Structure 1
Amino acid sequence: MAEPWPLEPVLVLGAGPVGQTTALLLARHGVPSIVLDRRPARDLAGSKAICQQRDVLDIWEAVGAGRRIADEGVTWTTARTFHGETELFSYTFAEPGTPEFPPFVNLSQSRTEEILDERIAAEPLVDLRWGHEVTGIDQDTTGVTVTAGDRSLRGSYLVVCTGARSDELRRLLGVRFDGESFDDRFLICDIRADLPGWATERRFYFDPAWNPGRQVLIHPCPGSTYRIDWQVPAGYDLDAEVASGALDARIRRIIGDREYEIVWKSVYRFHSRVADRMRCGRVLLAGDAAHLVSPFGARGLNSGVGDAENAAWKIAYAGRGWAPEELLESYHDERHAAARENIAVTTATMDFLVPPDKARARQRSAVLARAAVDPEARAAVDSGRLAEPFWYVDSPLTTPDPARPFGGRPPRGEVPPAGPGVLLPDAPVVVPGIGPTRARAIARDGFLLLSTIEVVAPGRARVLRLAEIDPDGALTTALGAKPGEVWVVRPDAHVAAVLTEPSPAEIEAALARAAGRYSGPVFRTEAV
């Protein structure tokens, strides 16, 4: 077991999925937290963020929620893209190793929040408090004090997960939120209907007859419910369309003369913005409070959960003195780079969906026309590159391996080969003293050395021989592990280093670097 937390609880602002995940992951590391939300209670309206990526389900499984979310959600493995009524292409997703979860499941954000709330209710280290709107933040070298009405609360660290409407909190922290907002609006309708053959596919339509000149995205959800997103012009009036019957006609152009029920509807505007700083002393910004991206590709919530995991283990290690406070600066380094990657990917998508000038509009029309008959043109069709983990190949915590250079962003639907900075492939393993489990489950217990040779663990890092835990060879194959290699894995299951015939000093140096101490003796590790 981990040593008792030596500091005040960590404060988490916002009880959405990113704040919930942050608190639950802190608890998994033995760190108490107080979660504050300005709302009087949970708001369960609408589907909101529905598309949960495989590696995010893995993170949620670490706190006991991933399997349940996956089982309740709709599984889909194929993404189809159409121009008008002509299908341009479809693709399925690569599966390195033998993953525990499908590539994506669709479940409403509201239901995901309910499941995470149940985990929080069962976790004594998480104190969730509603009706606390924070209006002041002060910090010093030992902690953070927040003001909520006439109350003040003191914490050791603060993680801000308050969503898109966080302008005032960012102002208090002196953080800019640079970027742009797009003029076109998007109409969402969650409808319940019987649509045979549509229940396991994500469908994207360029310029369909039922939304000429614009796009439509359709996602299946549980309970014969479908989420439909229409691109609509600036100034679109939902109330007027409901009153005139035009919304009913819009829906029937897609589903035909079937009975249906509107479960939820909304109109929203896309933004592409990122905070200039995601770490301000003992305060970390996460999720939509730190970055906003268009939802084509489902990179919003999925990236926010990645923020939560990165923040939680680093706070746990820095707070206990297992790593220096400077480790927290790598939170900004890594997650700001992830946010910029998401901005680049989603902005390119938006520029294709909503060309910013006539020249690019003509170019898009030409690409879509060629893609119907020319397979090589299909690579230029951008309907949204779906969410994937960020690869920390350029992180200051990552030790490069010249024998395993990063080849850049792989084709959509694929993942890069395992190596430094890349998320550990998952596979079943059998661990002495534990029994059957999975590679990522043991990786998230603390720093881990996966070795093909005899290694003496420095400090209290866990060492596991691949030959002993991987009798079927699935993990070894997924890694591409070679004789003489030692794989150093971080507490968030990302590979920090791949070392060949390393000396004890080289192992210590890679571990020290992975914990933010780039020179000197290895920090003390702990499986928690």
Structure 2
Amino acid sequence: MSVAVLGSGPVGQTAALLLARRGVPVVLVDEHEVRDPVGSKAICQQRDTLDVWASLGAGCLVEEGLTWTTARTYHRGQELFSLKLPDAGSALPPFVNLSQARVEEVLDELIAAQPLIDVRRGHRVTGLTQPGRVVVECATADGPRRIEADYAIACTGARGDAVRRALGLHLAGVSFRDLFLICDIRADLPGWAAERRFHFDPPWNPGRQVLIHPCPGSQFRIDWQVPDDYDLSAEESGGALDTRIRAIIGSVPYEVVWRSVYRFHTRLVPRMRAGRVLLAGDCAHLVAPFGARGLNSGVADAVNAAWKLAWVLRGEAGEGLLESYHAERHAAAVENAAVTTATMDFLVPQDDAQRARRLDVLTRAATDPAACEQVDSGRLAEPFWYTGSPLTTPDPSRPFAGRPPRGAVPPPGPGILLPDVTVASGRLRDLARPGFLLLTTPGVDPGGFRSAEIPVGGALGARPGEAWLVRPDAYVAAVLSDPSAAEVEAALRRATGS
């Protein structure tokens, strides 16, 4: 009984740790001998991602990360509006900014202390077959190697072509023409540490955008949209990069810590399950980074995959549960693609009509608060809601009203992630993680099922006489208004894909 996790970025690391915590031996494979410790890369870690990492013992990431609470938006140098991020009653911040390199370092320490995880570095995946089990072919400095496992989670990133090709899958979609220049700088900029700043068409990058994120250690990440023929080397050697940076920060001393140029994509594989292989993270979906939906959705993939594989390997569920991984996480990928595509259409208009609309919205937003709601610099990452999942038992009295306003979450109910609230014995989500959790309101007897009385009825909006069935990933599987043993059994069977 084992799972091969291919790729040891944060998504693969999270998957490996979650599997090991459930007693599943893991072979963690990565092509790199050592990590690259430089560069911010994915920096925005959302509250529910932090919650998962804290449950694994990486609570220090919350403490080390820089918490920002205000998002400011400008047009041609004039501030249009600012938004305060809601706290949602959680002990965790809405977001922290922390470099991917530091996240990987902390998760590596946890992996090194986990005897069920066998790390194989310097193993580049060259092929994959499924003759009953998963057989992974790897190239190493000492020659070819073969790794066998019962299942695999492919977290090999955007460049995981060998895995996708072996599975007959392709990252279909579009690539955006403009490039984006990213610089990490270290500077003393008082008042900037708790704010994300987004500039539309600033005088120092006319016709394009600039995004500024604070990071720990007096570092700031600056993203410029630049033309597709942009030459970073020429700009550095000619002094234009210094001019570009000083146009934003002024004459204060600074140090360039890291810089790179990226092209953004919106691409999805058609299937996130191929036999005994589940695809996760950038190996399965690529989206533009505005809104921080890349890494955060990849961690959600890992959470979904890990508990389902553990249940299948223990013989507690079958093919239906594995297939639900595709049903739930591909729907999440489609949602993220739709949200980020709408953002990119606003940031980088594709035709005259889109350009005219954007200019109209930004011009009106200077004086009209209603127009501010139409300004799209990225809807920040949020959980996906499994209200349409085959595992979710619907409740007609709690219909899902669709995507809520930016910064809001739906009220608790079937398919919704439990709110992150504290109870007498700890955090409510932590009570769910060992297995399925049945919560009951006072006086309810589920008939043969062990249950815990709901200590947070107000936070859940639970009604008298109800029982709430919660999955191991802390999503609500069912809310039962007449919780007989038969109804609980039926909801549990549905939630395990039976």
Normalising by structure 2, what TM-score? 0.97
Aligned partners of 2:80 and 2:378: how far apart in 1? 14
Distance 1:462 1:194, change over 3 A: farther
| 1:308 is the counterpart of 2:302 | yes
The answer to whether 1:480 aligns with 2:466 is no
Residue 26 of structure 2 aligns with an amino acid whose one-letter code is: S
Contact 2:202 2:208 in 1 (8 A): yes
**Alpha carbons of structure 1 residues 336 and 462: separation in structure 2 relative to 1, 3 Å:** farther
Q: CA RMSD in A?
A: 1.2
Specify the alignment match of 2:311 in structure 1.
317
**Alpha-carbon shift at residue 94 of structure 1 (Å):** 3.2
Structure 2: unaligned runs, 5 residues or longer: none
Match of 1:396 in 2: 390
Alignment pair present for 1:70 and 2:62: yes
Matching of residues 203-282 of structure 1 within 5 Å: 203-282=197-276
Secondary structure of the corresponding residue to residue 449 of structure 1 = strand
1:520 corresponding residue in structure 2: none
What's the offset of the Cα at 1:454?
4.5
Listed as ranges, the matches of 1:292-371 within 5 Å are: 292-371=286-365
Amino acid at match of 1:338: A
Name 2:429's counterpart in structure 1. Answer: 440
Q: In the TM superposition, what is the alpha-carbon distance from 1:228 to its structure 2 partner?
A: 0.5
- Preserved contact between residue 169 and residue 270 of structure 2 (Cα < 8 Å): yes
Distance 2:137 2:109 in 1: 28
- Counterpart amino acid of 1:439? L
C-alpha distance in structure 1 between counterparts of 2:73 and 2:327, whole Å: 35
User: What aligned pairs does 1:364-383 form with structure 2 within 5 A after superposition?
Assistant: 364-383=358-377
Q: How does 1:50-199 map to 2 (within 5 A)?
A: 50-65=43-58, 67-96=59-88, 98-141=89-132, 143-149=133-139, 150-199=144-193
Aligned mates of 1:169, 1:445 — CA distance in 2: 31
Q: Secondary structure at the match of 1:190?
A: strand
Deviation at 1:380, TM superposition (A): 1.1
Q: Distance in 2 between matches of 1:200 and 1:289?
A: 32
Deviations 1:5-56 (A, max 9, x none): xx2x210000100000000000111111000101111121211000000000
- Letter of the structure 2 residue corresponding to residue 155 of structure 1: A
Q: Which residue of 2 aligns with 1:450?
A: 439
Q: Secondary structure at the match of 1:380?
A: coil
Deviation of 1:445 (Å): 1.4
- Say whether residues 1:36 and 2:29 are aligned partners: yes
Say which SS state the counterpart of residue 369 (structure 1) adopts: helix
Matches within 5 A, 1:506-517: 506-517=487-498
Equivalent positions of 1:479-498 (< 5 A) are 479-498=460-479
Q: CA deviation at 1:95?
A: 3.6
Q: What's the offset of the Cα at 1:455?
A: 5.1
Superposed CA offset, 1:264-321 (max 9, x none)? 0000000000000100011000000000000000000000000000000000001111
| CA distance in 1 between partners of 2:187 and 2:90 (Å) | 32
The 1-side partners of 2:76 and 2:462 are apart by: 46
CA distance in 1, matches of 2:29, 2:432: 30
SS of corresponding position for 1:136: strand
Q: Relative to structure 2, which stretch is displaced further, 405-414 or 265-274?
A: 405-414
For residues 446 and 485 of structure 2, the distance between their equivalents in structure 1, rounded to whole angstroms, comes to: 9
> Is 1:500 matched up with 2:490?
no
Per-residue CA deviations over 1:193-226 (Å, capped at 9, x if unaligned) read 0111110111111111111110011110000000
Work out the percentage of aligned pairs sharing the same amino acid. Answer: 65
TM-superposition CA deviations, 1:390-417 (whole Å, max 9, x none):
0001000011111111111111111111
Q: Secondary structure at the match of 2:72?
A: strand
Q: Supply the AA of the counterpart residue of 2:136.
A: V
SS at 2:162 equivalent = helix
The count of corresponding residues between Structure 1 and Structure 2 is 494
Report deviation, 1:457.
Answer: 6.1
Structure 2 counterpart of 1:114, one-letter code: E
Deviation at 1:503, TM superposition (A): 1.4
Report SS of the residue matched to 2:423.
strand
1:458-504 CA distance string (max 9 Å, x none): 78x752101xxx3xxxx322211111111111000011111112211
Verify the 8 A CA contact 1:453 1:486 in the aligned structure 2: no
AA aligned to 1:249 is T
* Cα deviation digits, residues 71-128 of structure 1 (max 9, x gap): 00101122111112222222223344x3121000000000000000011011111111
Structure 1 residue aligned with 2:16: 23
**5+ long unaligned stretches in structure 1:** 1-6, 431-435, 518-528
Give the counterpart letter for 1:465 in structure 2.
Answer: E
Is the CA contact (8 Å cut-off) linking 1:393 and 1:400 kept in structure 2? Answer: yes
Instruction: Call closer, same or farther: CA 1:462–1:365 in 2, change over 3 Å.
Output: farther
CA distance in 2, matches of 1:163, 1:109: 14
Following TM superposition, by how much is the alpha carbon of 1:240 offset from its aligned partner in structure 2, in angstroms? 0.4
Give the distance between the partners of 1:214 and 1:444, measured in 2 at CA: 45
Compared with structure 1, are the counterparts of its residues 458 and 185 closer, same or farther at alpha carbon in structure 2 (3 Å cutoff)? Answer: farther
Task: Indicate conservation of the 8 Å contact 1:277/1:332, yes or no.
Answer: yes
Q: After superposition, what is the alpha-carbon deviation per residue over 1:132-167, rounded to whole angstroms, capped at 9, x for unaligned?
A: 1111211133x2111113211110100000111012
Work out the CA distance in 2 between the residues paired with 1:456 and 1:124: 41
User: Which one-letter code corresponds to 1:317 in the other structure?
Assistant: W
Q: Which stretches of structure 1, 4 residues or longer, exceed 2 Å deviation after superposition?
A: 92-96, 453-459
Tell me, yes or no, if the aligned pair for 2:447 and 2:484 is still in contact at 8 Å: no
Separation (CA, whole Å) in 1 of partners of 2:189 and 2:14: 34
Query: Residue 75 of structure 1 aligns to a residue in which SS?
Result: coil
- Contact kept, 8 Å, 2:446 with 2:483, in 1: the verdict is no
Change (3 A) 1:457 1:151: farther
